[in-house]
Amino acid sequence: MGFWDVVTGRSRPKAPQLDSLFLVPSAAVTLETTLGLRPTGAGSVCYRAASGNAFAQVQAEVVELLNADPDEPDVELSQDEFGFTWLVVHEDPDDPDGMADLCTDLHAVNTSLEDHGFGPGLLCSLVPFVGPDGRRVGLVYLYKQGTFYAFAPEPGAERRRDNLLEIQLRDALAGELPMEQDLGRWLAVWGAPGL
């Protein structure tokens, strides 16, 4: 932080640590062995789509790149009730390299948008997991913080979270991932794809 930042009360935003996404495959092993949670094979990047042709072109290029493999399902684009776009990619959850490939795809989406100047519109990346009882939880990467947190909607309950499970997931992954300590930043991602 510079002198003028101190005088004016401004701070510089923390630079994203996108390479932290490559730690998720190891964390997935921990989640499976400790809590029985397995990856669903899906993952998504959430962002506020910019208006204009430049953004549309970058988004189309990213989708085309990810759809280049004919053996993989097509990328899905959806919009949530808050106006955010979710770009969803899929990998085979039973493939030993599936989680690594998924994280590579999520990293590529984030990096492409950032490299073309659309980083401020990035919100988060999400990797959903499912338990033996069918319950789903999400591991959320906060782009602007460079940290992860757990999101566990209660099954069958309208917009209620299982905070105890979220804390349990945080504690289980504390040695694996940079976990967000400020609970105020643990955003609810209602209606996120895969949850």
* pLDDT digits 0-9 by tens, 149-192: 999 999 887 899 999 999 999 999 999 999 999 999 999 999 89
The answer to the question of residue 195 being in a domain is: no
The answer to the question of residue 125 being in a domain is: yes
Phi, psi of 20 (to 5 degrees): -60, -25
What is residue 132's three-state secondary structure?
Answer: coil
183, 40 contact by CB (below 8 A): no
Domain with 154 in it: 22-185
67, 75 contact by CB (below 8 A): yes
The answer to the question of residue 16 being in a domain is: no
The answer to the question of residue 50 being in a domain is: yes
Q: What pTM was estimated for this model as a whole?
A: 0.88
Q: What is the pLDDT of residue 133?
A: 93
Of 136, 142, 153, 154, nearest in space to 181 by CA: 142
The answer to the question of residue 94 being in a domain is: yes
Q: Residue holding tokens 């998924």?
A: 102
Query: What tokens were used for 169?
Result: 């997931």
The answer to the question of residue 15 being in a domain is: no
Regions of the chain with pLDDT less than 70: 1-16
List the beta bridge partners of residue 128: 138
Q: What is the pLDDT of residue 71?
A: 77
Q: What is the pLDDT of residue 11?
A: 55
The answer to the question of residue 6 being in a domain is: no
Q: How many domains does the chain have?
A: 1
Of 83, 94, 122, 121, nearest in space to 106 by CA: 122
The answer to the question of residue 166 being in a domain is: yes
